[in-house]
Amino acid sequence: MNAFRTLLLGLIATAILAGCSTVTFEEPMPLNHRDLPRFPKHWRGEWLDESGERLHIGEQHVIPNDSSEVFILGAENRLRRYRDCLVFNSKDDGGGWNVIVARRRGGTIQLYHFDGSDEQKIAVWRAILNASDDAAAAFTTTGAGPKLSYHLAPENNAAWRQLVKENALTPLASYVRVE
């Protein structure tokens, strides 16, 4: 699977399908922030990851790897600003929100996600959200084997801020601008 799909609506959805567990949020993050109607100008353009796959970011859409898939900002795909990052939220079939945090520094974009297969990260989520084992994970069976699903519900942006700051995110991909 290409890492570009993990940026967009399929961004996290694809990362989730590739992994053995899913991580969703109850609401788009950060809480009570307005949705951006378009990508900022300095984010738009062509980007390339380490494996040579392209990502096109337009005014209101993203196209991964020259595919026919187009992810358009709207009710199912929301873009919000958090400090020096953009937060891409995509609604999944179960009603939860998959979240990707993107940080741009000059000609580089670094993507981060919530990795449900990393026990250390899960322990951080539990500590921040004061969740018991039962409250933090629901065990469901999908396909050929069991699949853990984590549904995170920070009660306020102070909890969201801690999730972002306290080593609770995992690097997903890095892209450089194509001139």
Q: How far, CA to CA in Å, does 110 sit from each of 78, 102, 137, 152, 170?
A: 18, 6, 27, 23, 11
Asked whether residue 12 carries a pLDDT value surpassing 90, the answer given is: no
| pTM assigned to the model | 0.81
pLDDT tens-digit profile of 110-167? 999 999 888 898 888 888 887 545 444 432 323 334 567 888 888 889 989 999 988 8
Rg (CA), the chain: 16
Of the pLDDT bands very low, low, confident and very high (cuts 50, 70, 90), residue 71 is: confident
Counting Cα atoms < 13 Å in the Cβ hemisphere of 147 gives 15
Asked whether residue 2 carries a pLDDT value surpassing 80, the answer given is: no
Structural contact between residues 7 and 173, judged by C-beta atoms closer than 8 angstroms: yes
Structural contact between residues 125 and 163, judged by C-beta atoms closer than 8 angstroms: yes
pLDDT tens-digit profile of 95-115? 899 999 999 999 999 999 999
Asked whether residue 177 carries a pLDDT value surpassing 50, the answer given is: yes
